Amino acid sequence: MEVAGNMFGFKKRRREKLRNQPFPPAWLEIIEKNVPIYHRLAEADQKEILGHILVFLAEKNFEGCGGLELTDEIMVTIAAQACILLLHRETDYYPGLYSILVYPSAFIAKGYLELAPGYYGETKQVHLGESWSRGALILSWDDVRANAGDVHDGHNVVLHEFAHQLDTEDGHANGAPPLPHRSMYVAWARILGKDYAELQRDAEEGLPTVLDQYGATNPAEFFAVATECFFEKPVQLKRKHAELYEELKLYYQQDPAQAVQDSEGE
């Protein structure tokens, strides 16, 4: 127990030292250019996220795939968006994640489909991103860059895949990440379950929705889609799904709808 305590203390001190290092000006230029959501943040939040980015980049391994040559622009753009989900919260910086694999564009992922009871066929699907419960996360750089640049469309592959990482921190991909208080789980299950069922009904009936209808796939995808919408279309989400917005606001300890209103009022 003493050894574990010493290791935890060392990690905490090392991270604090990293967060207090000067942030490279060239990296800040990348964020200001590629991640417009950064400009919505209050000055204190901008300072906090820059510290998180320094820790994130020091601890995570990036790999270029499919001929992609990694650059600071790629790594910093991804890290900045991933760290938006960590603001204001106690965090262990996605503890199950070790490597971020980046392809130049959408990539082919193999899967299996049950054709008949007991018989499976291999499938190949085009993916923009993919999150594994332990170890790795895969992203398409073309889509990372395009999604980051449009902060109003409700689509962000980095926020989506890193929401999956949060979801699976307890070992289960079920749309319920570890919550700070046990008392929160009842309301979380009721509200997200209700809005998930509503999205499924609307998708089946072909009705327009604020949430991307891919969220009707399963509860894990619903949480990831809701996270994208919370940060990119917060005003619309709050208007249409007020209880869901409040649950996400409580979990993420952020109020992006207010941030949008404040930024537009400047």
Question: How many CB atoms are located within 10 Å of the residue 166 CB?
Answer: 21
User: 182: helix, coil or strand?
Assistant: coil
Q: Mean pLDDT over all residues of the chain?
A: 88
Q: Where are the alpha helices (DSSP H) in 20-71?
A: 25-34, 43-59
* Residue 24 predicted with pLDDT over 70: yes
Q: What is the CATH number of domain 174-266?
A: 3.40.390.10
**55 contact partners, CB below 8 Å, separation of at least 6:** 15, 18, 19, 93
Condensed to tens digits (0 to 9), the pLDDT of residues 38-77 reads 999 999 999 999 999 999 999 999 999 999 999 999 999 9
Where along the chain do its domains lie?
Answer: 174-266
Mean pLDDT within 127-131: 53
Is the whole model's pTM more than 0.85, yes or no?
Answer: yes
Model pLDDT, residue 55: 98
Radius of gyration (C-alpha) of the chain in whole angstroms: 19
Residue 41, both tokens: 């943040």
* Residue 85 predicted with pLDDT over 80: yes
Condensed to tens digits (0 to 9), the pLDDT of residues 155-205 reads 899 999 999 999 999 989 999 999 988 999 999 999 999 999 999 999 999
Q: What is the DSSP letter of 95?
A: T
How far apart CA 186 and CA 97 sit, in angstroms, is 28
Mean pLDDT within 9-15: 89
How far apart CA 80 and CA 82 sit, in angstroms, is 6
